Structure 1
Amino acid sequence: MTVSFTPVPPPRSACPQPPLNKNPPYNGWGSDEDSLGNCKGLIPKPPPKDFVKFMEKDKVGLESHVLRFAARIVTDLPQDRDRCFIIYCFLTDDTFLIYEPPVRNSGFKGGKFMERRKVMKPGQERFRINLPEYYTTVDVYVGAVVDFNNFLFEVCGADEYAYRYMEQHPAEFPFSDVPRIMSKLRPLMQGREEEINNFLKELDPEGAKSMPYGDFEKVIQKLISDPRYDRVCIVAHEIATLARNYAEKIPTKKNYMAIIGLAQQQLRKAPFENFQALLDACRYEDVNKTGSMSQTDLRRICRANHFPLPDDMLYTLMEVSKNFDNGLVYYESFINQLNWRCNPVPPGTVPCDYSGNLEVDWFTVVTGQGSKKVGSCKKVLTCLGAERVCYTKFMTDLMNAGQCK
């Protein structure tokens, strides 16, 4: 008799797949990341941060990695139409801060309008399961309309640092990519050369080969209104990028006496009187006793001695004491012109309508473009650095593929 020792498989019931772990809904306390971290273990842990992004985008030397945009509220209320806001975009963690420059006799106190925080995009459930979608710095550009905590803001300008930073990083900010913008406009030029040239002659009858920014904007609108194609979307930031790229370089006149008076007024309010220590530090760094040093070294010494002036004002004041042969700054002349104890500026040098806020009055004082009125503070961050655009070079690059840079 043969006995089979083959093992018999045990009966097994159909084992279903384990259920997927689902996040509980948001409980309304703290941020979504904090609430979700409390559900993953008995010991709550703070949400992890993007350390790599922090190391790349944190403040490094003169690079603040903070973009500033001018904005206004989209509203039907007449008292809110002239209010100007400054949106700070922090690249290190995609947080935002909104500041309202105070304007006298406007009826609004001004100051901080929204604390620095992440801002959720609208249309998301309050008690959601998944993490919300936040605004990033890419979503804020000139011409964009953003919804920050049920307030609609239209971005109408940016400062020079924001424009320059976005143009230097076109992969992150597509609206500042000149070749990409030109590739969108180039197909609209085919077969319309005569029409566009006649339109340019109407805008520039004297043949100056350059035009104001407003006329250049009309040229772009004329290009994208081609009935043969669907309307191409060109936002205001892209037009500003093209205008800056093809801008006619015109030297700007600066009211240096008003800037010195404004700086002395800020130093008097601080109060800062330690000019001798500042001068001794400069002499100590000047080993060769030349009486001059670079702007970077002079700025470092000013910061080490807690000199209470912003960088834009410092560099503008250095131009007054600069040696144009080698680009170095005569530090004794630089310090003496700011000594409000020994060398005060004459009365009336500082504009009488100065509000005490550099964010509001810096552009007006530097360029000397007159007094400031209610609602005109938006000009602080709307200067493109392109008062006139050289349209001939723009048209040449537009008709010849691969030549724009």
Structure 2
Amino acid sequence: MITIYEPPVRNSGIIGGKFLERTRVAKPNCPPDQPIFYGPQDFYIGVVIEVFRHRFVITNADEYVLKFMEEHTDQFPSSTVESFRQRLAEGSLMRETVKGAPMKVKRTEGDLATLVQQVRAQLKKIAITDKTRVNEMFLRYNSNRTGAIDALNMRGLCRRLQLPADDDVINALVAECIDNPEGKIRLDNFRRFVESS
């Protein structure tokens, strides 16, 4: 079974989001009366998968994928498992070299207020262009559905958006979002923070 989510690509016309609900997908050019479906062994870094005349390239994977492959070695060639191991081991190097990697900012003394304002401005741009994305950003990190996120979640959000995630920047952002003694950021506070100027 395959589910496909596409990342949004800026200025490309691709909105991103769910492309395909969970379903079995037949490989192209196989006979309709004897379909050959994609299986786990068909997925590896760099492969081009054709789904209903749309082509998708698998560019990366997470540790969950590698763990699954290691637990089900009978379904995957050893070369595929090793390529995933290598890719994940090189992950930190890739983040430094791939275009669109997290921002590396040369810090100067007293620049905290400026950085916080710039991060806030980037988040506001997202809120102006796509209000539902603000909720999605929050809910992605509110996985336990408590209605609140914390500083660790805010750091993950900033990294995902390629924004500075230094400790002092994250602490300042969180401080601007919190209005409760628990030190948690609620959705309404997060929305207000992102949408305010």
TM-score of the aligned structures, taking structure 1 as reference length: 0.27
Larger radius of gyration: 1
TM-score of the aligned structures, taking structure 2 as reference length: 0.46
